[in-house]
């Protein structure tokens, strides 16, 4: 009987990293587990955390890092851009930031189409109104 090893599929990866630790595919992973799966050293992952602000693994007592599935996917994309596509750190960061901006542009609406926001009384009224308007816009975008 052959045990099936969980894999995570990253864009640009043909076979994705293999985790043979018996954990569920969506489980949190330590820096050592992720480094082995990607074929890089742990200090490289720490350096990438400094260079890519969108990469923020969970940190626990003593500074232990735990990577979520989305962190691992981002690391896979960084790895692909740097080692397979030949990007520089700066170029990879710009490519990832550009992809994030492009995804958010679908949520943005022209300011002209917004209905007027009713003002409430109080010192924080303008901020509160702006937050409510933003919440409403996001809810509307999610329904679309």
Residue whose C-alpha is closest to residue 42's, from 52, 34, 50, 51: 34
Q: Report in angstroms the alpha-carbon separations of 121 from 26, 114, 118.
A: 46, 21, 10
Q: What is the pLDDT of residue 142?
A: 78
| Residues whose CB falls within 8 Å of the CB of residue 78, separated by 6 or more in sequence, listed in order | 48, 52, 55, 92, 96
Q: What is the pLDDT of residue 127?
A: 76
Can you say whether residue 88 is alpha, beta or left, with left for phi > 0 and alpha for psi between -120 and 50 degrees? beta
Together in a domain, 29 and 58: yes
Together in a domain, 74 and 120: no
Residue indicated by tokens 């200090």: 43
pTM for this one?
A: 0.58
Q: What is the pLDDT of residue 27?
A: 86
Together in a domain, 68 and 129: no
Together in a domain, 130 and 71: no
Q: In what order do the strands lie in the sheet with 29-30?
A: 29-30, 65-67, 58-59
Q: What is the pLDDT of residue 125?
A: 61
Q: What is the pLDDT of residue 140?
A: 82
Which pLDDT tens digits describe the chain residue by residue (144 residues)? Answer: 443 333 444 444 434 466 666 788 788 999 999 999 899 999 999 999 999 999 999 998 888 999 999 999 999 999 999 999 999 999 999 998 887 666 555 545 444 444 554 545 555 567 777 788 888 888 887 776
Domain count, the chain: 2
Q: Which domain holds residue 38?
A: 1-93
Q: What is the pLDDT of residue 112?
A: 47
């Amino acid at each position: 009987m052959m045990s099936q090893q969980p894999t995570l599929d990253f864009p640009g990866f043909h076979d994705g990293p293999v985790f043979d630790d018996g954990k569920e595919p969506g489980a949190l992973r330590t820096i050592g587990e992720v480094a082995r799966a990607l074929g890089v050293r742990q200090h490289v992952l720490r350096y990438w955390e400094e260079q890519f602000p969108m990469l923020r693994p969970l940190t626990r007592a003593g500074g232990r890092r735990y990577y979520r599935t989305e962190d691992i996917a981002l690391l896979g994309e960084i790895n692909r851009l740097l080692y397979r596509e030949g990007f520089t750190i700066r170029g990879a960061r710009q490519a990832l930031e550009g992809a994030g901006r492009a995804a958010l542009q679908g949520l943005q609406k022209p300011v002209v189409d917004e209905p007027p926001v009713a003002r409430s009384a109080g010192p924080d009224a303008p901020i509160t109104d702006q937050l409510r308007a933003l919440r409403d816009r996001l809810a509307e975008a999610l329904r679309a």
